[in-house]
Copies of this chain bind each other. A is one copy, B any other.
Amino acid sequence: MKRSLGAKTLAYPTPAWVIGSYDEQGKPNAMVSAWAGICCSQPPCVAVSMRKATYTHGNLMKRRAFTVNVPSQAQVKETDYIGLVSGRDTNKFAATGLTPVRSNLVDAPYIQEFPLILECEIVEVIELGLHTQFVGKIIDVKADEEVLNAAGSPDILKVLPILYSPGDRAYYGVGESLGSAFSIGKEI
């Protein structure tokens, strides 16, 4: 029996990604976005949504670039802190000890300590209501050597990304493998 819960943003899983940007003066900032996801394979694109009230929103409108920084679960406190304060009055990098690195490809900083980074140029800005969706073309992906598998691809069980659960406003880790895609369904 299904119960109706109303018009709410209750979908699982959502990511806990940290968006890197520069403000007009070149100060690096970071914010957390869970309203985000890959949205196109060719060109490779990722979408991130944020409220107009955020400091990062203004940065993205001016700089037309951002990074998606995927934190590992050991960095969950730093990630949550980034979502608790505003870059308007706080230098989140100084407070957390995280290091902003200037991308040589896009006009945005990435976070050195996070294992997986997407460097993006904004190609679409879509006003949806409270949130603006920024679609970024992925110019490059950078990953720590330690999280790569033998094929040179990031291993999710080494990256250990963080999930955000809107239902209880809490973070979760990645669990066990459930099988190979485009494969286990053949048993049906």
The interface centre, meaning the residue of A157, A180, A181 with most chain B CB atoms within 10 A of its CB, is: A181
Contact of A39 among B44, B77, B133, B177 (CB under 8 A): B133
CB neighbours (8 Å) of A39 from chain B are 35-37, 47, 49, 128, 131, 133
Q: A31: shortest Cβ distance to chain B, in Å?
A: 12
Number of copies of this kind of chain in the complex: 2
- CB-based nearest B residue for A43: B129
Question: Are A5 and B152 interface neighbours, CB within 8 A?
Answer: yes
Q: Which residues of B contact A68 (CB under 8 A)?
A: 11
Q: Is the CB of A129 within 8 A of B80?
A: no
A181 / chain B contacts, CB cutoff of 8 Å: 16, 80, 83, 164, 169-171
Contacts of A148 in B (CB 8 A): 3
List residues of A whose CB falls within 8 A of some B CB. Answer: 1-17, 34-47, 49, 51, 68, 70, 73, 76-84, 95-96, 112, 116-118, 123-124, 126, 128-131, 133, 135, 137-145, 148-149, 152-157, 159, 161-188
Given contacts A171-B179, A176-B172, contact A76 B38 (CB under 8 A): no
Q: Can you pick out 26 interface pairs between chain A and chain B where the beta carbons lie within 8 Å of each other?
A: A3-B143, A3-B148, A5-B142, A7-B44, A7-B141, A8-B138, A10-B143, A11-B70, A11-B116, A12-B174, A13-B156, A14-B15, A16-B181, A35-B39, A38-B49, A40-B129, A45-B131, A77-B179, A80-B183, A154-B167, A168-B180, A169-B180, A171-B178, A171-B184, A173-B178, A175-B175
